[in-house]
Amino acid sequence: MNTRDLVLVALFAAIVVVLGFIPPITLGFIPVPITAQSMGVMLAGCIIGAKRGALSFLLVILLVAIGLPVLSGGRGGLAVLAGPSGGFILGWAIAAFATGLIAECFVRAQNSEGRQFAGFFLASVIGGIVVLYAIGVPWLSAVTGTPLAAAATGSLAFIPGDLMKAAIATLAARAVYAGYPLLPARA
């Protein structure tokens, strides 16, 4: 890791904290709020790559664990990590890594613009939605005592919003990649 990597990790951790200023939307039938911070997973993975994206979220999780109110709605502390949202929050680092890994594999400078968009969108959906839900939904089920099938069904309400977040992250990632590529290439 060099100075540039450290700056990018800190910058994206700060971006995730700023995304937390957008007020959360709570649906009555599931105790996990809709937040803009989950879009940060997609942005970090697609823009700065797997390793740096995951490290930026580990930094955010550390800030949450020590009690800083950096989550949406001014939440923070170990109680939040142990609650229904905890699996999603802890899953952010893994999801950012997966998103970055997929983006690094599928997005190349020599690809057409359309293929780059498709690569970023695929990375955002698989890493930022599928991987995150694979970690967060079982945690939600375990913490709330809800059957896994019911927790998964309740989480389907978040998919349309998450797809919109993936589209926004795709547009942002492609714009950054076109002007100042930070995404490492993977074979």
Residue in this structure with the two tokens 């968009």, named with its chain if needed: 117
Average pLDDT over residues 36-59: 96
Q: Tell me the per-residue pLDDT of 140-172, one tens digit each, with 9 for 90 and over.
A: 999 999 999 999 999 998 898 899 999 999 999
Inter-residue contact 54 to 98 (CB < 8 Å): no
Per the prediction, the chain carries an average pLDDT of 93
Is the pLDDT at 187 greater than 70? The verdict is no
Question: Which residues are 75's β-sheet partners?
Answer: 71
Is the pLDDT at 91 greater than 70? The verdict is yes
Q: Which residue has the higher pLDDT, 157 or 15?
A: 15
| Entry pTM | 0.92
DSSP letters, the chain, are --HHHHHHHHHHHHHHHHHTTSPPB--TTSSS-B-THHHHHHHHHHHH-HHHHHHHHHHHHHHHHTT---BGGGB-SHHHHHSTTHHHHHHHHHHHHHHHHHHHHH--TTS-HHHHHHHHHHHHHIIIIIIHHHHHHHHHHHHHT--HHHHHHHHGGGHHHHHHHHHHHHHHHHHHHHHS--PPP--
Domain 3-179 has CATH 3.30.479.10: no
Distance CA 2, CA 59 (A): 17
Integer distance in angstroms from the first to the last C-alpha of the chain?
Answer: 20
